[in-house]
Amino acid sequence: MTFDDVCAIALAWPGVERSTSYGTPALKVKGKLLARLREDGETLVVPGVGFDEREMLIEAEPEVFHLSPHYRDWPIVLMRLPKAGADAVEALLLRRWREAAPKRLVKDFDAARVDQ
């Protein structure tokens, strides 16, 4: 996966836009961070992942999920995009989108999916 692949997934959801965070490409929903690309161009920073879940992800797929000391005290996981599958990226980002998006957007999104 690449950041462009990540964008193709997330930009299909309501309110998601390309932006920047800490000088790097990012995706935001209504101004709230969804994810950002690290300076190496291959690592995705995904906020909203609790410590227990992060530990489980890293243990289950250490080639994909990891952590740097900088993020140790934050509910964040790092993903190596070249090793990540689209399903894993979509699942984490969709959950983050649901947390960050305005409730009305989530409700409308869910209603549209049921109607399909």
Q: Block means of pLDDT (10 residues each) for the chain, length 116 residues?
A: 97 96 96 97 97 97 97 97 96 96 93 76
Residue 86 burial (CB count, 10 A): 12
pTM, two decimals, is 0.92
Please, what sign has the CA dihedral across residues 34, 57, 88, 92? negative
Domain spans of the chain? 3-105
Query: Which of the following CATH numbers is that of domain 3-105: 3.40.50.1110, 3.30.2290.10, 2.60.200.30, 3.90.1150.30?
Result: 3.90.1150.30
Q: Within 13 Å, how many C-alpha atoms sit on residue 68's CB side?
A: 9
106: phi then psi, degrees, rounded to nearest 5: -65, -45
Q: Which of 103, 95, 102, 61 is nearest to 78 (CA)?
A: 61
